[in-house]
A and B are shown apart, each in its own frame.
Chain A
Amino acid sequence: MQASIQLKRDPSVQYLLRIGDTALILAQRLGEWCGHAPVLEEDIALTNVALDLVGQSRALLTHAGTLEGAGHDEDQLAFLRDERDYFNATIAELPRGDFAFTILRNLIVATWAQLLWERLQASSDAEVSAIAGKAVKEARYHQQHAADWVVRLADGTDESRRRIDAALAELWRFTAELFESDAVDGAAHAAGLGPRFADLRDPWLAEMAAVFDEAGLAIPAESGFRSTGTRGVHSEHMGFILAEMQHLQRSFPGGVW
């Protein structure tokens, strides 16, 4: 059994991991659709989105490891961190649910990511800016794909409408966490590394409202609930997804292709 690595507490590292871990954990969830999506085309679409997210997280984890300066590479960061050292937003780790749940979550996260990557292109960190230049195009495409489906499900059949309504009722309270600001993104903002998450909220709401208008959905009222994955305190689902994702490296330390 491979022991866990300890992460040095550094705001820049944690800032990049909030983004990289959200991409990685969502990719793992989307990968679960392989062979299970309602139609072949969407099976391929969801796994293609997952592949882009894995690529983005590889680049960010690698760079976070460099900034941390403790010699941790992308694989060690992905496979040897414990739950408390993972900083993804909780919304990414929720079980995949049905197709409507997955698609609505993709819209929520891709819209957030697209706005974030747009701003990260101006990062004072050249590597982050370069990663963002590529990722922003991918996020836009993911957002478009999910938006098309949200509209189609909302104005489709009674059954598809029932499912998208249920997904919205379940997911919305997890969106607030994406726009919480604290010392971590405050430091990133001060250093020019990237934006404060709170500053993404208004443009995100505007884009969500545009899609919801087209779909005939209403933006739900804000709830008092706050998830806390970006601070390392996760839902009960996180341990299970890490167990599955990390099993091989934990059982066969250093195993490679």
Chain B
Amino acid sequence: MIAEVASSSRVDAAWRVLATVLDPEVPAVSVCDLGIVREVIDHDDGLEIVLTPTYSGCPATEVIEHDILQAIDAAGLGPARATLRRAPAWTTDWISAEGKRKLLAYGIVPPGPATSAEVPIRFFPRAAKAAALPCPRCGSHHTERLAAFGSTACKATWRCLDCKEPFEHFKPI
């Protein structure tokens, strides 16, 4: 009984620590906000942190693993190991409401709901007025997509045609 309590408090403590570990590429949100941490399991020989990769080739995955283990260790909760779980595949729907709020405040338009069904190829009209995102700075919908990709695999590049500032969009996947 005592052991069970100790175990669950260790897992809770680990979650509290993980909530402070920031994504290295988007340091406005934590790995928990992004939904990358799927599970924390207390084994006899230490904690197992189960992570899911965002994109197959995301170079941040290894840095995140390192940062997480370092934070757990620094909090005296080690030993710990990180394992990768591919299925079910990560989706931007797992980003918490709090995470989406933080992204917007950081200047990145958060993703809308991801479409899980097969989507036929759609062609973006040159001026995609209907699908225009609100500018995270001035709120104007007078915006346009500049490029399908951005500074990281998870983002696209947009600009506001009113305040003239470029901004990024976290792509829904």
Contacts and interface: CB of A to CB of B under 8 A. Distances in A.
Interface of A: 41-42, 44-45, 48-56, 58-59, 118, 126-127, 129-131, 133-135, 137-138, 140-141, 143-145, 147-148, 151, 207, 210-211, 214
Contact of B58 (A41, A55, A127): A55
A145 B57 contact: no
Contacts of A118: 118
A148 B148 contact: yes
Contacts of A42: 147
Contact of A41 (B89, B90, B149): B149
B57 A55 contact: yes
Nearest to A56: B56
A126 B87 CA distance: 9
B124 A134 contact: no
Contacts of A131: 56, 86
B86 A52 contact: no
Interface string B39-69: 0000000000000010111110000000000
A72 to B, nearest CB: 20
A151 B123 contact: yes
A207 B149 contact: no
Contact of B89 (A45, A133, A144, A214): A133
Given A41-B146, A52-B153, A141-B171, 15 more contacts: A50-B57, A51-B55, A51-B57, A52-B55, A52-B56, A126-B87, A129-B87, A134-B56, A134-B89, A137-B89, A141-B173, A145-B148, A148-B148, A151-B123, A210-B121
Contacts of A207: 121
Contacts of A211: 121
13 contacts: A41-B146, A44-B149, A51-B59, A52-B56, A52-B153, A56-B56, A59-B56, A133-B87, A134-B55, A137-B173, A138-B173, A144-B148, A145-B149
Please report whether the interface of chain A is mostly helix, strand, loop or mixed according to DSSP. Answer: helix
A131 B148 CA distance: 23
Given A129-B87, A137-B89, A45 B121 contact: no
Nearest to B119: A140
B150 interface: yes
A147 B121 contact: yes
A138 B120 CA distance: 14
Interface string B90-133: 10000000000000000000000000001111111000000000
B88 interface: yes
Contacts, number: 84
Contacts of A44: 147, 149-151
B157 interface: yes
Nearest to B172: A137
Contacts of B57: 50-56, 58
A176 B138 CA distance: 51
A204 B173 CA distance: 22
Nearest to B155: A48
Which 3 A/B pairs are nearest by Cβ-Cβ distance? A55-B57, A55-B56, A41-B147
A52 B173 CA distance: 14
Contacts of B153: 48, 51-52
A137 B171 CA distance: 11
A49 B56 CA distance: 11
Contacts of A137: 89, 173
A142 to B, nearest CB: 9
Q: Which of A41, A137, A143, A147 has the most CB of B within 10 A?
A: A137
Contacts of A58: 56-57
Contacts of B122: 144
B87 A41 contact: no
Interface string B134-169: 000000000000111111010001000000000000
B53 A134 contact: yes
Contacts of A138: 55-56, 173
A129 B157 CA distance: 31
Q: Which of B53, B89, B119, B157 has the most CB of A within 10 A?
A: B89
